[in-house]
């Protein structure tokens, strides 16, 4: 007897509503059915032997991207950008090459990342430098390319089928699909949609915090050396277009040696030490702390009877906990949210839990309330150009220095007596201190510093543990992008 059930997709993925038999809900049958789907997919993609022997793939692509929840304004239409990309993978030699050239969000980029087994390099053709990667990770680095290349996902299924389960049948684009899980070496689980007639992959889904539901679409297949590859690919975030990829060329089972060659004209610079993974507290000046780990940091400033927190990236509760080991007796009364991008409003619930007043601009009110635990009870203070805290001993100014190429409104925190500036997303500050030519966002920030007459001595930011000097900024501004000969693909 057939009955209608709701099948929950693992790892927080979407719920799929299906018509399946009651006995098919049993775990053993879910595994067996998944194996049937995988076998059919292997056959559709050229056969199990062809996929097993698929060792290398190299693809040149044109990307159109929409900065979903990352645009200059807090709502759609999202900013649109274009870039060219070249990606290549070799499983046997654990080699990956990813090259990108384009612009977006106030940044110009022209560089590559190369992983060759236990060695790796970050290449900046714009700066003319190559930096060894301290801890190369083939699986993490190649994962995004695998997830947008259907035959490589099938190859993953072939080797990891024991972890796959059948979740049910769904209608997608007017056709019936089987949905099975894929648990890769790294990253959240995927749900994969295979067309029951063609047995080709049409769609995959995953949850990617803080962005939300990520939906991949594979379309317009062509056969390359007996294996079907989709020529076009679309990625949606929460049902909104995020990335459209037009594949210009695909090569399989070719040597990647020429793609991993580093131009001799590049300058080799010191390896960038990895940012600490544990949350650390650095006292920049007395009562001024940079707290964070990985690539997310906040600044906490002691006033006479309270603390002002600046920054809202991931992990604010852990950063508050670490601060409490140093400053135990003062409440956090204010939390400054630099801007509206979804990776910079994650701290709103933490500041709300502290009963703190959240500082933002009026134009970002809806985003802040949406990020809050309780939108109605969130306490907001709007900044119009500048908001000044002054307890008689210490002054902190919160300045809206927008518009910039990154955001129409964005807040910096300025301590005039100490000469300390906290910024977010405008001054790339690598952990090895190797300054690159200033980005458009950096140039705009420097213009604001000059226009407002700020006597900056120290710069700290939301994405680096390194305490930079004003000389670091001057060096970046003095550098010009260089022209470096690159391999043509």
* The predicted structure's pLDDT at residue 134: 86
Residue 183 confidence class, pLDDT cut points 50, 70, 90? very high
Cis omega before residue 445 (within 30°)?
Answer: no
pLDDT in tens, 211-238: 789 999 999 999 999 999 999 999 999 9
Same domain, 61 and 197: yes
Percentage of residues of the chain with pLDDT beyond 90 = 85
Same domain, 286 and 264: no
Longest dimension (CA), the chain: 78
Same domain, 131 and 211: yes
* The predicted structure's pLDDT at residue 482: 85
In whole angstroms, how far apart are CA 107 and each of 78, 110, 133, 164? 16, 10, 22, 40
| pLDDT (average), residues 171-178 | 97
Q: Is the pLDDT of residue 188 over 90?
A: no
Q: What is the CATH number of the domain that holds 315?
A: 3.60.15.10
Indicate whether 221 belongs to any domain.
yes
Last residue of a domain, one of 268, 300, 328: 268
| pLDDT (average), residues 178-189 | 91
* The predicted structure's pLDDT at residue 488: 52
| pLDDT (average), residues 31-49 | 97
| pLDDT (average), residues 98-106 | 97
Same domain, 211 and 65: yes
Strands (E), 401-480: 411-415, 420-423, 458-461, 464-469
Q: Is the pLDDT of residue 114 over 80?
A: yes
Same domain, 77 and 197: yes
Same domain, 195 and 97: yes
pLDDT in tens, 361-382: 999 999 999 999 999 999 999 9
Indicate whether 100 belongs to any domain.
yes
Higher pLDDT, 258 or 4: 258
* The predicted structure's pLDDT at residue 78: 95
Helical axes 27-44 vs 150-159, angle rounded to 10°: 130
How many domains does the chain contain in total?
A: 2
Strands (E), 258-361: 267-268, 280-285, 288-293, 296-302, 307-310, 332-336, 357-360
Q: What is the CATH number of the domain that holds 183?
A: 2.50.20.10
* The predicted structure's pLDDT at residue 484: 52
* The predicted structure's pLDDT at residue 39: 98
Q: In angstroms, rounded to a whole number, what is the distance separating the alpha carbons of residues 227 and 59?
A: 14
* The predicted structure's pLDDT at residue 11: 32
Same domain, 426 and 301: yes
Same domain, 200 and 301: no
Indicate whether 488 belongs to any domain.
no
Last residue of a domain, one of 268, 288, 305: 268
* The predicted structure's pLDDT at residue 29: 82
Indicate whether 177 belongs to any domain.
yes
Residue 274 confidence class, pLDDT cut points 50, 70, 90? confident
* Region class of 466: left (phi > 0), else alpha (psi between -120 and 50), else beta: beta
pLDDT in tens, 141-155: 999 999 999 999 999
Q: Is the pLDDT of residue 472 over 70?
A: yes
Percentage of residues of the chain with pLDDT beyond 70 = 93
User: What end-to-end distance do the CA atoms of the chain give, in Å?
Assistant: 56
Same domain, 213 and 312: no
Q: In angstroms, rounded to a whole number, what is the distance separating the alpha carbons of residues 459 and 185?
A: 38
Q: Is the pLDDT of residue 25 over 70?
A: no
Q: In angstroms, rounded to a whole number, what is the distance separating the alpha carbons of residues 136 and 248?
A: 28
Q: Is the pLDDT of residue 14 over 90?
A: no
Same domain, 171 and 27: yes
* The predicted structure's pLDDT at residue 486: 54
Range of the domain at 83: 2-268
Indicate whether 485 belongs to any domain.
no
Indicate whether 384 belongs to any domain.
yes
- In this structure, of 233-242, 382-391, 409-418, 450-459, the range with the lowest mean pLDDT score is 233-242
| pLDDT (average), residues 296-307 | 98
Indicate whether 483 belongs to any domain.
no
pTM, 2 dp = 0.88
* The predicted structure's pLDDT at residue 30: 86
Same domain, 250 and 313: no
Same domain, 14 and 122: yes
DSSP-assigned states of every residue in 86-130 = EEEEETTTTEEEEEEEEEETTEEEEEEEEEETTEEEEEETTTTEE
Last residue of a domain, one of 245, 268, 291: 268
Indicate whether 140 belongs to any domain.
yes
């Amino acid at each position: 007897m057939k009955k209608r059930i709701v099948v929950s997709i693992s790892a927080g993925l979407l719920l799929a509503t299906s018509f399946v038999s009651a006995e098919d809900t049993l775990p053993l049958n879910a595994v067996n059915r998944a194996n049937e789907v995988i076998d059919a997919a292997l056959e559709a993609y050229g056969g199990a032997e062809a996929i097993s022997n698929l060792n290398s793939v190299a693809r040149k692509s044109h990307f159109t991207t929409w900065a979903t929840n990352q645009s200059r304004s807090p709502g759609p239409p999202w900013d649109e950008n274009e870039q060219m990309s070249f990606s290549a993978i070799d499983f046997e030699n654990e080699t990956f090459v990813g090259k990108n050239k384009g612009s977006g969000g106030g940044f110009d980029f022209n560089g590559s990342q190369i992983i060759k087994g236990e060695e790796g390099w970050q290449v900046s053709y714009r700066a003319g430098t190559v930096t060894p990667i301290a801890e190369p990770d083939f699986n993490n680095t190649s994962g995004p390319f695998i997830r947008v290349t259907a035959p490589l996902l099938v190859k993953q299924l072939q080797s990891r089928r024991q972890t796959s389960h059948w979740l049910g049948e769904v209608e997608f684009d007017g056709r019936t699909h089987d949905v099975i899980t894929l648990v890769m070496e790294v990253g959240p689980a995927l749900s994969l949609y295979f067309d029951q007639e063609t047995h080709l992959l049409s769609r995959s889904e995953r949850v990617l915090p803080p962005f939300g539901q990520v939906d991949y679409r594979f379309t317009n297949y062509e056969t390359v050396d007996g294996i079907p590859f989709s020529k076009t690919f679309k990625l949606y975030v929460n049902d909104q277009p995020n990335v459209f990829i037009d594949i210009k060329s695909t090569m399989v089972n070719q040597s990647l040696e020429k793609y991993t060659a580093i131009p001799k004209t590049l300058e080799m610079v010191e390896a960038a030490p990895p940012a600490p993974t544990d949350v650390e507290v650095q006292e920049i000046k007395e009562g001024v702390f940079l707290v964070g780990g990985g690539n997310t940091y906040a600044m906490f400033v002691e006033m006479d009877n309270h603390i002002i927190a600046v920054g809202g990236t991931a992990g604010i509760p852990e950063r508050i906990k670490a601060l409490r080991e140093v400053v135990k007796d003062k409440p956090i009364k204010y939390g400054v949210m630099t801007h509206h991008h979804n990776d910079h409003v994650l701290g709103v619930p933490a500041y709300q839990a502290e009963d703190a007043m959240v500082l933002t601009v009026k134009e970002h009110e809806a985003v802040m309330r949406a990020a809050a635990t309780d939108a109605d009870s969130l306490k907001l203070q709007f900044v119009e150009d500048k908001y000044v805290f002054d307890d008689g001993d210490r002054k902190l100014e919160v300045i809206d220095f927008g518009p910039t190429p990154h955001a129409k409104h964005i807040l910096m925190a300025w301590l005039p007596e100490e000469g300390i500036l906290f910024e977010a997303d405008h001054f790339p500050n690598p952990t090895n201190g190797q300054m690159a030519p200033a980005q458009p966002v950096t140039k705009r920030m420097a213009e604001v510093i000059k226009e407002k007459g700020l006597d900056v001595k120290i710069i700290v930011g939301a994405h680096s543990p390194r305490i930079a000097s004003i000389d670091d900024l001057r060096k970046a501004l003095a550098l010009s992008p260089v022209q470096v000969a690159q391999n043509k693909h």
